[in-house]
Chain A
Amino acid sequence: MSGTPRTGAPFIVTSRTGDATRPPMEEGHTLNAYLASGGYQGLRKALTMNPEEVVAEVLASNLLGRGGAGFEAGRKWSMVRPNPVRYLVINGDESEPATFKDRMLMERDPHQLVEGTLIAAYAIGAAQAFIFIRGEFALGMERVIAAVNDAYRHGAIGANIFGSGFSVDLVVHPGAGAYICGEETALLESLEGKRGYPRIKPPFFPAAIGLYGEPTVVNNVETVSNLPWIVSNGGAAFAALGQGRSTGTRIFALSGHVVRPGNYEVEMSKLTFRDLIFDPELGGGVRGGKSVKAFIPGGASAPWFGPDQLDLPLDQDAVGKAGSMLGSGSVIVMDSDTCAVRAAWRIARFFHRESCGQCTPCREGSGWIDKVMRRIEDGQGREEDLDLLMDACDNIAPGVSWPPAQTTICVLGPSIPSSVAWSIRMFRDEYLLHIKEGACPCP
């Protein structure tokens, strides 16, 4: 991004080959490389502006949060309660299965993250910022810490940044290995040294009551990584990319049964899922030339799509209207050989293992569903299990629709039906085959 000026053309990176227009990033994480490609110019420019002007640029860019909920970043900032103390927390606890875009940004472009964080801190008037990084990201942690230390020495962090009179400290905090801490209020609890339990809403946003009870902005790593470019090039330039509310570019983490899984940064709304999966420059098609059986458009928490939805644009609202979400931007492709039961069970098992246990429907429901799904996959299912699963899903997310209602404290609960209930709806016959044959019929 700011390491390489944007051209408006799709900017593509892949984790597999690194052969796209992005220069090799082996040294991209160092301060010198970053400075050489124009690093920290966005921050310098921001510091010459009023914080309000920075907020205005971001509002103009219509940058949507890249963490999953897709809330407008500028609006989130505007909602922060006036207070002598405000905190900025960057959510780098990327743990959604098949989502790996923040990881790449932290490992390969940590200075861009640091610069974006500093711009956000300046915009909201935070004197203390935190980057909360998933504990398992050893390399990302090492690189972001190194970047923060280098930035301190460079005068970009600390007291009186670049002589502007603005001061902010930045702390990198390792997560303790819980998926739930990607949920922003659980992250704040964890950051406070407590058990990572999501807080009960309302208050709906940490902007009112956040870290240590003070107003807090929680932004995703990718969201703030866009800021140096937006400040350098202007919000309007960002908004000119994409379409409707979905502006700018976005990194899609493509995985599953595609020829070229990887991270692809593309302009929003301009391409379809079919393009992303089949374009030779991008996913390169389904492996073995098979057809797409189903795909998940926005991470393991999102309802499944079938081949009919392949022509939907990579657009937040379009996907939402079609009954799922763009979510964390990870697209999982299942080919025609995939066992839908097994795939749904694997996702259900993940949520079972990652349920924090705070509230009953998720704690007990996830385990129950995991056990039933496993039983069906193992050929021990009963026909009534399908109604049971749908009803258990309904007791976690009443109505089992999208966007979901929930009986749980946080949205981990309604993430469980997304794979189980939708796969039953799409592949009921396949479930029944498991039950009637007493074994998984898939190759």
Chain B
Amino acid sequence: MPVSVNESGIPSEDTVTITVNGKQIAAAKGEMIISATDRAGVNVPRFCYHPRMKPVGMCRMCLVEVSGPRGMSLQPACYLPVADGMEVVTDSEKVRKAQDGVLEFLLVNHPLDCPVCDKGGECPLQDQTLAYGPGESRFVEEKRHWAKPIELSDLVLLDRERCIQCARCTRFASEIAGDPLIDFFSRGDSTEVAIAPGEKFTSYFSGNTVQICPVGALTATPYRFAARPWDLEQVESTCTSCATGCRVVVQSSSNQVIRYLGVDSDPVNQSWLCDKGRFDFEAHRAGSRVTVPMVREGGELVECTWAEALRKAAEGIGRAMEVASDPSSAVGVIGGARLANEDAYAWAKLVKSVIGTDSVDADLGDGLPADAVLGLPKATIDEVCSAPLVLVMTPDLRELAPILFLRLKAAAQSGRTKVIELTSVGTALGRYATETLVYRPGEAASLVAALFADSDPKPLAAGMEIPPIAGVAASDVARTRALLAGFSSAVAVVGRPSLAESTEATVAAVAALSAARPETRYLTVHRRGNLHGALDAGLAPGILPGRVTLEGGRSTFAAESGWGRVPASTGMSTHEILRSAAQGSLGALILLGADPVVDFPDHESEKALSGGAFVVAVTAHLCESARRADVVLPAAMYAERGGTTTNFEGRVTTLGKKVTPPGQAWEDWAIAAELATALGSDLGFTSFDDIAAERTRLVPLFRHFTPHIWNAPSTRDGVLLPLATAPVGLTGAPRALDPVATPGIGSLPHHAVRPPSPSPLFAGTGTTGPSGAVASPGAVRFSRPASPPDLPAPDAYSLRLVAPYRLYDCGTHVVGSAHLAALAPVGTVRVNHYDLDRLGASTGDTLRAVSPGGSHQVVVEVDDEVQRGTAVMGFNLAVAEGSVSARSLIDLSAPVTDIRLEAHR
């Protein structure tokens, strides 16, 4: 009996029927035999095949008998596409002999050092040797010997003796990552994976090669010799190092996080992780970790009990509330993107009802305003990557959201998706984009307007040359305009391209697009892990949980059945809170996993903590800002707490709790609940379930969103809120974890909580809601500014500053992870040689940068990728002694920051 087409999920017009071991199965036209047999549950051994990469048919382990014009012959199941009526035999004596033979050959030069090999216990070669091949070795000759290990990079080591030349790593590097830095050298059984002399495998994705290596040839320095696989326990979770929301398993041993592995989540990361997300677990045990509450006594932070710390914190906050008429001007709260959704809800309730301030902001001046994130029509990653045309107006996505970069790169390379990129500096995506228009920083709005104008740019007067638009040649604008005009629907990826350009400049560009093409759908990208979840919980001025405005949610939340009260009017943003604190007008400042002293793009951010405000830092690490706080409350980190998190699509996935928080660190919702008690109130939460229950009851966006939904096996890839209104069963099978595609991942039990019984609940599993918008009358809507900000005319002596994100910066997770910290670049001001030549300066020189933030020393570097008239300095990077980082140059209140470089005379 053929499997019904619906069951196998293949549309009927693409279906062919093949016979496998005498049983008919449905297969998709063009797919390889191995994927059809996998689906049918017929195991075919393999090494080189990886479901996310093009097959190469090299290892020959998957040889099966296939019918052909010349009868049955041995063919690689990974490389031969199915054909209607094809007969496949996977269990004959001939197949068995061939597979046994290949396995024996693979072991010829493979060292039998399993007892000391990191892969031992989760090794596809070891596992398949148990199932295939002879019981004992017939090979009595000398094996191949090579010096080992070879350092491919600071993160990846290579043992060439163990390598079985499956080319998974080399294919990943060139095909998936676009960093073809490793390849085969030499030939025959001398073939080795190698790197060009003097080069390093400096890819942001290098850890994936370790993950997919089917033997112990590639090991990662942070995991090497750290554990044995059988001692590891795992739980599925979502990475929150950035806001992409990659699914991972968190593995621990002896209550220590030991390793992350990427899970193949089809709508998001498709099994890949960036190296930052993969290796930043070392920050769990960083020396800067705060594990005991502290209060300031005699100018010093001293350890104390939670009771003492909470009392001091409540006193300080209470004092601030007493003196001011409006709590919104007395107490400011910065941060929240580090929290789980449930933590964020508890904090929102504490802040907006118990304390009563609306001056809370999860955005640290580095994203888009809440009304843009929540109010723009949404597009998912899948929608972006299947759209025929995508407009990208973001910082370098490889730095900001590396896995989104991989998805977009793959889409562009497939030829399905044309990428039009608007940027001020060269990005990694540029190589794959159909058009890259490099505009003058801050002027994206006028470029967008011209791209969607009714006609091509015109000369000022007849016969004159057409002036460039925002620094982009008129011919480039006209060509791109014509390209855009050919597409009726548009999908855009938008984000703050530079921290030296104000939010208004970015919003203006989005507004120009939204005005020209109202049907455009957006993927708003931001940096901080759960920013979207924090905004969904209401952690921003002017909003309440569920993507509603203060006014829209007032009736629900101000009611006795709700929170009892909500702030009267819109409070301050992070920038305004910091300014108010610096001026001494703010009574108390709560830092919720935020470090504004170094992580806020304004030269005056440091002054905020010396303006006299009482500062409470809820933090996992003793960061710069926490060092200056009056009370430090230790918080649990990622993998030490559960709940859910929301990525920049608005996709909600689970966070796995794998280890207990160290020392006396608490989960953030518990800190909120206890702080409320200390303030003489009661949030009414004694568990996560309490929070979820109240949220389900009060917030339409989260209606039906219960732990049953998010723990269901069929929602492992997350759900997009609001849930579909039609009931959807939750009885689907969990996604299979492929132990050969990702060794170490499937051999361990899955620890997620299963629903007690299949329940007829509501779940839009992996499908998008109706444009992500909440249909309630009080929904947050994107508000277009009346006009773009006025930009100063570029002057001939100034350079317009671009401060982009770098993946490895001075954030606590990178600094706390020794192996990553070493990779962070040193911050220099990069300038076109033309601009530097005028100053008679060259790479490595120290110049004076005259900026709105004052005159400071900076180290300069020639980079002809940088446009003339522009200076680029990565944000939050370490700098040379005596010079300053980008933050000290930026004036966030101005739409753009112009600096002038001067040589010392």
CA–CA, A200 to B80, complex, Å? 9
The residue that A200 contacts in the complex, of B74, B79, B187, with Cβ under 8 A, is B79
Q: Cβ of B59 and Cβ of A360 under 8 Å apart?
A: yes
Q: A361-B60, A398-B94 are in contact. Are A407 and B165 (CB under 8 A)?
A: no
A358 lies within 8 A of chain B by Cβ: yes
Residues of A within 8 A of B57 (CB): 200, 359, 409
Q: How many Å from the CB of B86 to the closest CB on chain A? A: 13
Nearest residue, chain A, Cβ from B134: A391
Residues of B within 8 A of A391 (CB): 101
Q: Cβ of B74 and Cβ of A388 under 8 Å apart?
A: no
Q: A360-B106, A364-B105 are in contact. Are A354 and B188 (CB under 8 A)?
A: yes
The residue that A360 contacts in the complex, of B60, B73, B79, B138, with Cβ under 8 A, is B60
Q: Cβ of A353 and Cβ of B188 under 8 Å apart?
A: yes
B141 lies within 8 A of chain A by Cβ: yes
Q: Cβ of B59 and Cβ of A405 under 8 Å apart?
A: no
Q: Cβ of B188 and Cβ of A395 under 8 Å apart?
A: no
The residue that A367 contacts in the complex, of B58, B109, B184, with Cβ under 8 A, is B109
A366 lies within 8 A of chain B by Cβ: yes
Chain B 63-90 residues near chain A, CB threshold 8 A: 63, 73-74, 76, 79-80
B98 lies within 8 A of chain A by Cβ: yes
Chain A 345-404 residues near chain B, CB threshold 8 A: 352-361, 363-368, 371-372, 375, 388, 391-392, 394-396, 398
CA–CA, A366 to B97, complex, Å? 18
Residues of B within 8 A of A364 (CB): 105-106, 108-109, 189
What are 21 A-B interface contacts by the 8 Å CB criterion?
A180-B187, A200-B79, A353-B188, A355-B187, A355-B188, A355-B189, A357-B184, A358-B58, A359-B60, A360-B59, A360-B60, A360-B61, A360-B105, A361-B60, A366-B189, A367-B189, A368-B139, A368-B141, A392-B101, A395-B105, A407-B74
A interface footprint on B104-140 (CB within 8 Å = 1, 0 otherwise) = 1110110000000000000000000000000000110
A195 lies within 8 A of chain B by Cβ: yes
A170 lies within 8 A of chain B by Cβ: no
Number of interface residues of B (CB under 8 A): 37
Q: Cβ of B105 and Cβ of A368 under 8 Å apart?
A: yes
Given contacts A357-B188, A368-B141, 14 further A-B contacts (CB under 8 A): A200-B56, A200-B76, A354-B188, A355-B188, A358-B165, A359-B59, A360-B164, A361-B60, A365-B105, A365-B108, A368-B139, A395-B100, A398-B98, A405-B73
Q: A195-B184, A356-B188, A361-B60 are in contact. Are A407 and B98 (CB under 8 A)?
A: yes
Q: How many Å from the CB of B864 to the closest CB on chain A? A: 28
Residues of A within 8 A of B187 (CB): 178, 180, 354-357
Q: Which of A355, A364, A367 has the most CB of B within 10 A?
A: A364
CA–CA, A395 to B191, complex, Å? 21
Residues of B within 8 A of A357 (CB): 165, 184, 186-191
Q: How many Å from the CB of B890 to the closest CB on chain A? A: 46
Q: Cβ of A361 and Cβ of B102 under 8 Å apart?
A: yes
A interface footprint on B782-797 (CB within 8 Å = 1, 0 otherwise) = 0000000000000000
Q: Cβ of B74 and Cβ of A398 under 8 Å apart?
A: yes
CA–CA, A156 to B58, complex, Å? 43
A291 lies within 8 A of chain B by Cβ: no
CA–CA, A366 to B98, complex, Å? 16
A interface footprint on B164-178 (CB within 8 Å = 1, 0 otherwise) = 110000000000000
Q: Cβ of A407 and Cβ of B60 under 8 Å apart?
A: yes
A408 lies within 8 A of chain B by Cβ: yes
The residue that A372 contacts in the complex, of B97, B141, B165, B188, with Cβ under 8 A, is B141
Nearest residue, chain A, Cβ from B144: A367
Q: Cβ of A359 and Cβ of B58 under 8 Å apart?
A: yes
Q: How many Å from the CB of B170 to the closest CB on chain A? A: 10
Number of interface residues of A (CB under 8 A): 36
CA–CA, A195 to B167, complex, Å? 13
Residues of A within 8 A of B61 (CB): 360
Q: How many Å from the CB of B640 to the closest CB on chain A? A: 44
Chain B 172-205 residues near chain A, CB threshold 8 A: 183-184, 186-191
Q: Cβ of A394 and Cβ of B60 under 8 Å apart?
A: no
Q: Cβ of B101 and Cβ of A367 under 8 Å apart?
A: no
The residue that A388 contacts in the complex, of B56, B76, B138, with Cβ under 8 A, is B138
Chain B 38-72 residues near chain A, CB threshold 8 A: 56-61, 63
CA–CA, A394 to B109, complex, Å? 19
Residues of A within 8 A of B184 (CB): 195, 357
Residues of A within 8 A of B105 (CB): 360-361, 363-365, 368, 395
Nearest residue, chain A, Cβ from B167: A358
Q: Cβ of A363 and Cβ of B188 under 8 Å apart?
A: yes
Q: Which of B59, B76, B98, B109 has the most CB of A within 10 A?
A: B98
Q: How many Å from the CB of B192 to the closest CB on chain A? A: 9
Q: How many Å from the CB of B859 to the closest CB on chain A? A: 40
Residues of B within 8 A of A375 (CB): 141
CA–CA, A366 to B101, complex, Å? 13
Residues of A within 8 A of B109 (CB): 364, 367
Q: How many Å from the CB of B124 to the closest CB on chain A? A: 14
Nearest residue, chain A, Cβ from B99: A407
Q: Considering the complex of A and B, which 7 residue pairs feature the smallest CB-CB distances, nearest first?
A: A395-B101, A357-B191, A364-B105, A355-B188, A371-B141, A367-B189, A364-B108
CA–CA, A394 to B105, complex, Å? 12
CA–CA, A116 to B845, complex, Å? 64
B interface footprint on A394-432 (CB within 8 Å = 1, 0 otherwise) = 111010000001111100000000000000000000000
A interface footprint on B461-502 (CB within 8 Å = 1, 0 otherwise) = 000000000000000000000000000000000000000000
Nearest residue, chain B, Cβ from A196: B187
Residues of A within 8 A of B58 (CB): 358-360, 409
Q: How many Å from the CB of B47 to the closest CB on chain A? A: 8
B interface footprint on A158-184 (CB within 8 Å = 1, 0 otherwise) = 000000000000000000001010000
